[in-house]
Each structure stands twice: as C-alpha cells, then as structure tokens.
Amino acid sequence: MRPGNPLRGTSSVPGDKSLSHRAVLMGAMADGVSHVRGWLAAGDTEATLASVQALGVFVERHDEHTLTVHGGTMRQPTAPLNFVNAGTGIRLAAGVLAGQPFPSVLDGSEQLRRRPMRRIIEPLRLMGADIEAVNDRAPLTIRPSKLRGVRYELPMASAQVKSAILLAGLYAEGVTEIVEPGPARDHTERMLVSMGADIQTEGNVIRVTANGQLRPMDMTVPGDISSAAFLIVAACLVPDSDITLTNVNLNPTRTGILDVLQAMGARLEIHETGLEAGEPVGTIRAQTSALRGVEVGGDVVVRMIDEFPVFMVAALHAEGETLVRDAKELRVKETDRIAVMAGELRKMGAVVEEREDGFRVVGPQRLHSAEVQGHDDHRIAMSMTVAGLVAQGETIVHEIRCAGDSFPGFPQTMMQLGANVAEGGAS
Ligand code: S3P
C-alpha cells in the first residue's frame, strides 16, 4: 500500500465473528431448526462450522452467508475436530462437548496448540468434566461425565471462558454461577435469553440453570465492529477521509474502541438504528481527525481487547503520550500482540515502549515504508496495512491472506473506499 488517497464512501463489514461462532454452535444445541443470515464465512468460523458438521449436525448452506442449522442431535465424531486457528471455536465447543454422552478430541493448528487452555479446563473440571490435555494445551480429549453446577470466579475477564462454563452449565445439575471481574462481551448470554434458557445477569454475576430444551433461533448477524475498527482508524488517520459503515454491531461490551477514539478527539458519528439478534446495531461515520494521546486501563480494556493492534497504530499518530495498562491478555491471543505489533512497527521506524501489561508511545511519529509480516494473525496483518496507508513510501505486508480469518475481502474493501492498496504475490 501507498499513502495519499483518502478513504471515502459507504461500506458494510462482514458478519460478527463472535456471533457467527455462537450461531452454529448454539444452533447445534437447540432443539429444532435455526435460520442464520449474514453469517461470517471466514477462516475461523468455517472451522467451527466444519466441526459442528463433524458432530453429525446437518447444516444447509443456501449461500455463503445463509445457513439453516438442524440442531438437537450431536453424535460422536469419527476424527479429532479441527478448529484451525479459532480460539473461540475450540473453547466454546469444549463447554458444549463436556456435556455430551460421547467422547471427542478437540484440536487445531500449531498456533492454536500454543494457546492456554487451562483457563477452561480448570472450571470445567470443577464442574465434573473429564478433560485430558498435555501441558494444558490442545489437543483436548473429553470423555462423558456427569456435570454439576458450581460458583466460579473468573480469574480474568474472558468471554470465551465465561461462555464455555455457561454452555456446560446447560448440561449440569443445579445452578452454575459465574462472577466476572470485568464486562466481557455478553453475546452468549443474549443468545441464550433469546433461546429461552434460564439465565439471569445481576451486576457481575451470571446464573444459568438447565431447564430442558433450547429454542432454535432466527437471526441476522450484524457487521463486526472489530472489522470496522480497521477502517475507522484508517479513516481517522488518512487525510481528507470520510467514510460511513452501515449495520455494525454496537453491543456496549464491544464499543470500547469508539469511546477511546472519541476521547482522543476522533470525529465519529454513531447512530443506533435498531436491534439484530438481540444486539444493538447502527451506522458509524468516521472522518480524518487530529488525535491526542490517551490513557487506557480498567474496564474499557476488555471492551476493546481485539482492537489494540490497530489502536497502537492510532496512538503513534496522536499528539502526546498514550499509555495502555491492564491489557496483559494481549500476550495470549493468536500471537503476543504487544510484542509482535511493537516489533513490526519498529521496522517502520516507530518507537514503542513495551510494558508487561500494555505499552507506551509518544506521538505523533512519522513512519516509513518497510516489508512487514502478518505472523498468521489476522489482526496484525490488517493493522500493519493501516500503518502502511499513512507511512512514507510503499509498504508491503506479507501473509495478508490471514486477514481472511475474520475479514474476507479486507484489501478489496480498502480499495473500494479508495485506499491505494494492491494485493498480489505468493504470500
Ligand atoms: C471472543 C472473546 C475474546 C476475543 C476473541 C473473541 C469471543 O477472547 O479476544 O476474539 O467471541 O468470545 P477472550 O475471551 O479470550 O478474551
């Protein structure tokens, strides 16, 4: 990519990844036929869909984004389930499969095998689950067992861990109670409410009790704010830009990036237009903005956890100091996103101070072109593309293809909005 062209126009973004994983997994658990439109057809969610199909669940695919899930009957898979790079897929599925009367093996790519699984193994074992894992890493071998409800205080704010426990709770005897240290995304809770589950949230405590069958759902998945964030930050940074993104999920547990960008002086206009799948959706207009540095810590961190790679790019272009703390979870994502982003941005001349639980930068910094790597981490590859749009000269991002794990067509969307991006070559 090269700098110079403004981003202008209206676009939508692909369906929400978190909701798309949940739609197929929870559709498989439901008693009946669920209809899902706007489903995200991307690397991560396709892996979850394939695993659900390997569990004997019949899924009709009307087109890439329109599915009918015939839920209610899962059976023993004939081979290990392969979640490829999908942390959400494997962790949520572990909760579901802990409650099934057949054994299963859950596995994935080398990258997924490096990610911590103790965070789900421990609470599921407390519930009585029989899970075997060498060094608390995938592959996970799950054998049938009788589950019971527990009260569990989450050691970290994590929607994946919370969801694994809630889904297992639907197969457990008694009440399952979770105490959250912070407001992690609540898509599982919202979906369970719409499916008629016995679930209540009171402050930071969530209770679920198995009450028989789950109703199937009929939903349209709204656009993913985590995908929108790359376009929003690009529009804020590239001169003369003015873009509008329609039908974006505005669930307040996901909109931390909008709050923080606005606190930095970003010119954003956000209009809620309605509800989709029990989630507020709306339109976001983003224009070129003069950003100021900001301090980020506490509860907002989990509300923007996937946006820190692109936020680092924004912070480098803001006037003054930006300090991020309480974000050590970034080190156990697809990659160590603090170290990897700092390392790639340094190739472009950036000065980034890494901290154990965040980072500090002082801006504005003028970046120069470089050849950078995507590290098989979609959000790294897309963030470096945004960095390249405001760097001097021509930047090459290798492995941009991994953007397709969450945002298929990312380079094309950038091009449609007018960015000077070309895709090509072997990597
Ligand atoms: C997700 C939860 C978050 C997030 C991930 C999606 C989910 O992970 O980073 O991209 O859909 O539940 P953690 O729960 O590990 O923080």
Q: Where are the domains of the chain?
A: 8-15+222-416, 17-220
Ligand 1 proximal residues by C-beta, below 6 Å: 18, 88, 158-160, 163, 184-185, 305-306, 329
φ, ψ dihedrals at 112, nearest 5°: -65, -35
What is the mean pLDDT of each successive set of 10 residues along the chain, which is 427 residues long?
Answer: 96 98 98 98 98 98 98 97 98 98 98 98 98 98 98 98 98 98 97 97 97 94 98 98 98 98 98 94 98 98 98 98 98 98 98 98 97 98 98 97 97 97 74
List b or e across 262-273, with b for residues whose CB sees 16 or more CB atoms inside 10 angstroms: eebebbbeeeee
Predicted pLDDT at 427 = 44
Predicted pLDDT at 425 = 65
Return the active site residues.
Answer: 306
**Nearest atom of ligand 1 to the alpha carbon of 188:** 12
Lookup: tokens for 229: 């964030």
User: Looking at ligand 1, which residue's alpha carbon is closest to its atom 11?
Assistant: 18
User: Looking at ligand 1, which residue's alpha carbon is closest to its atom 16?
Assistant: 158
Distance from the alpha carbon of residue 88 to the mean position of ligand 1, in angstroms: 6
Distance from the alpha carbon of residue 237 to the mean position of ligand 1, in angstroms: 27
**Nearest atom of ligand 1 to the alpha carbon of 305:** 9
Q: Rounded to an integer, what distance in angstroms lies between the CA atom of residue 244 and that of residue 344?
A: 29
Q: Rounded to an integer, what distance in angstroms lies between the CA atom of residue 394 and that of residue 403?
A: 20
Q: Rounded to an integer, what distance in angstroms lies between the CA atom of residue 379 and that of residue 338?
A: 12
Q: What is the pTM of this model?
A: 0.98
Judge if 8-15+222-416 and 17-220 fold alike in CATH terms.
yes
Architecture of the CATH domain 8-15+222-416:
Alpha-beta prism (3.65)
**Nearest atom of ligand 1 to the alpha carbon of 226:** 10
What CATH superfamily classification does 17-220 receive? Answer: Enolpyruvate transferase domain (3.65.10.10)
